[in-house]
Amino acid sequence: MSTSIPATPLNSWQEELIQAIDNPRELLEVLHLPMTLLPAAEAASNLFGLKVPRPFVERMRKGDPNDPLLRQVLPLGDELKESEGYQVDPLQEQNTTADPGLVHKYKSRVLLIAAPNCAINCRYCFRRHFPYQDNNPARAEWLQTFATIAADDNINEVILSGGDPLANSDRQLQWMVDQLAQIAHVKRLRIHTRLPIVIPQRITDATLRWLTSSRLQTIVVLHSNHPAELDDDVANSVKRLRAAHITVLNQAVLLKSVNDDLTTQVSLSERLFDIGALPYYLHLPDKVQATAHFDIQQSEAIALHQQMQSQLSGFLVPKLVKEEPGQSQKTLIF
Ligand SMILES: *Cc1c(COP(=O)(O)O)cnc(C)c1O
Ligand code: SF4
């Protein structure tokens, strides 16, 4: 592998967004899967649409309905079951948004819904029921939110989340960062994104420009759940971020029949470090309606996490956490 900074990819990421597969029949055809899966896929996608970019589909094994990447995006009949104890908004985020696009639950950091949509629709998503249409502020409304941040000097970090913040244009993101950098007590900018995983060419020169042009220290937290997601194109994008002195971390969700085994978790951590990212969090899934089939017993998660500690260098073991409504931080699980 060469050590020089790789060149900008030529394919346009916007083009890939537009071309994403949103038709269950097409997905099954492309992957040579049986049409017996179609009725359930169509029924479940009426509730939460199918959306998966083609560069991500290309990393799936053809003819395998249990492929771990496919399982994250294929709508299943299981989603139509009502499960007791699973809610639409388990984290009660919808009560915390007094200012446009703002989720302020933790003292030192705020989260901004910096884009109303994602490049991919993950079936396990805890925000699958989020009312994004009510959280798509115009610039004038953002100014109100930035004024709230400016008025609270406990806040030293601003997290761009979504949706997926990188689904927004580089121009808009540059504007937001310019505004945030004017707030003296904000030191850090953190971007939580799955876009460089599903469409690696999203990291353009313009992206690197707004990520590095301000005085803010910048952290990118990738969302990858499986080592098979981390192909050479993803590695190339992470390399570009690292070459721009950006800290790159990863958070994953522990998902039944996707990544709930020791081999997968160990290779995820190893592969992340190989490409230049550190494991940060391993989340237990939230109790979101229509996602119960991904859920894992907490005791099993703890046992798995302990086995990971015996096989991985300490810095390659992500923190096992869950989110509980009303808590002022994520809950560490032992
Ligand atoms: C997860 C989260 C954060 C960031 O928490 P860290 O533990 O610092 O990663 C901030 N705000 C909200 C609402 C969150 O859900
Ligand atoms: S990228 Fe994140 S926010 Fe978007 S659908 Fe997937 S899990 Fe949900």
Same domain, residue pair 302 and 193: yes
Same domain, residue pair 191 and 321: yes
pLDDT value at residue 216: 98
Q: Is there a contact between 105 and 323 (Cβ–Cβ < 8 Å)?
A: no
Give the Cα separation of 154 and 241 in Å (integer): 28
Same domain, residue pair 162 and 256: yes
Residue 247: inside a domain, yes or no? yes
Residue 7: inside a domain, yes or no? no
> 319 burial class (0-12, 13-18, 19+ CB within 10 angstroms)?
middle
Residue 85: inside a domain, yes or no? no
| pLDDT, one tens digit for every residue, the chain (334 residues) | 445 665 554 459 999 999 999 999 999 999 999 999 999 999 999 999 999 999 999 999 999 999 999 999 999 999 998 888 887 776 666 655 689 999 999 999 999 999 989 999 999 997 787 766 666 899 999 999 999 999 999 999 999 998 899 999 999 999 999 999 999 999 999 999 999 999 999 999 999 999 999 999 999 999 999 999 999 999 999 999 999 999 999 999 999 999 999 999 999 999 999 999 999 999 998 888 889 999 999 999 999 999 999 999 999 999 999 988 888 899 999 8
Q: In this structure, which amino acid lies at residue 305?
A: H
Q: At 234, which helix (H) or strand (E)?
A: helix 232-243
> Which of 80, 109, 138 is the endpoint of a domain?
80
Same domain, residue pair 51 and 198: no
Q: Find, among 326, 323, 313, the residue nearest to 251 by Cα.
A: 323
Same domain, residue pair 184 and 65: no
pLDDT value at residue 7: 56
Among 50, 72, 125, residue to substitute to test ligand 2 (most atoms within 8 Å of Cβ): 125
Bridge partners of residue 188, in order along the sequence = 157, 217
Same domain, residue pair 70 and 102: no
User: What's the total number of domains in the chain?
Assistant: 2
Same domain, residue pair 61 and 158: no
Q: Find, among 124, 201, 214, 198, the residue nearest to 164 by Cα.
A: 198
The DSSP letter of residue 35 is: G
Q: Are strands 157-161 and 331-332 parallel, antiparallel or unpaired?
A: unpaired
Residue 1: inside a domain, yes or no? no
Residue 294: inside a domain, yes or no? yes
Residue 32: inside a domain, yes or no? yes
- If you measure from the C-alpha of residue 223 to the centroid of ligand 1, how many angstroms do you get, rounded to a whole number? 14
pLDDT value at residue 2: 47
Same domain, residue pair 33 and 120: no
Instruction: Return the ligand number nearest the Cα of 255.
Output: 2
The whole domain housing 67 covers: 12-80
Among 121, 197, 222, residue to substitute to test ligand 2 (most atoms within 8 Å of Cβ): 121
pLDDT value at residue 138: 93
* Protein residue closest via CA to atom 7 of ligand 2: 125
Q: In this structure, which amino acid lies at residue 79?
A: E
The torsion angles phi and psi of 225, rounded to 5 degrees, stand at -110, -10
Give the Cα separation of 167 and 295 in Å (integer): 28
Residue 139 tokens, joined: 């610039």
- If you measure from the C-alpha of residue 242 to the centroid of ligand 1, how many angstroms do you get, rounded to a whole number? 23
Residue 225: inside a domain, yes or no? yes
Residue 87: inside a domain, yes or no? no
Same domain, residue pair 104 and 75: no
Q: Could you give the dihedral angle defined by the CA atoms of residues 181, 177, 283 and 73, in that order, rounded to the nearest 10 degrees?
A: 180
- The Cβ of residue 243 has, within 10 Å, a number of other Cβ atoms equal to 14
Among 102, 105, 157, 247, residue to substitute to test ligand 1 (most atoms within 8 Å of Cβ): 105
Tell which atom from ligand 1 comes closest to the C-alpha of 104: 13
pLDDT value at residue 288: 84
Same domain, residue pair 128 and 199: yes
Residue 252: CB within 6 Å of ligand 2?
A: no
Give the Cα separation of 123 and 330 in Å (integer): 22
pLDDT value at residue 157: 98
The torsion angles phi and psi of 209, rounded to 5 degrees, stand at -65, -50
Residue 113: CB within 6 Å of ligand 2?
A: no
> Which of 80, 104, 139 is the endpoint of a domain?
80
* Protein residue closest via CA to atom 8 of ligand 2: 125
Q: Find, among 311, 328, 306, the residue nearest to 320 by Cα.
A: 306
Instruction: Return the ligand number nearest the Cα of 164.
Output: 2
pLDDT value at residue 132: 67
Percent helix / strand / coil, the chain, rounded to 5 = 40, 15, 45
> Which of 80, 107, 131 is the endpoint of a domain?
80
Q: Which residues contact ligand 1 via a Cβ below 6 A?
A: 103, 105-106, 109, 111, 159, 329-330
Residue 224 tokens, joined: 């990858």
Give the Cα separation of 26 and 244 in Å (integer): 38
Same domain, residue pair 23 and 138: no
- CATH classification at residue 317: 3.20.20.70
Give the Cα separation of 77 and 293 in Å (integer): 10
Within 13 Å, how many C-alpha atoms sit on residue 169's CB side?
Answer: 3
Same domain, residue pair 57 and 142: no
The label of the residue with tokens 């996490």 reads 305
pLDDT value at residue 187: 98
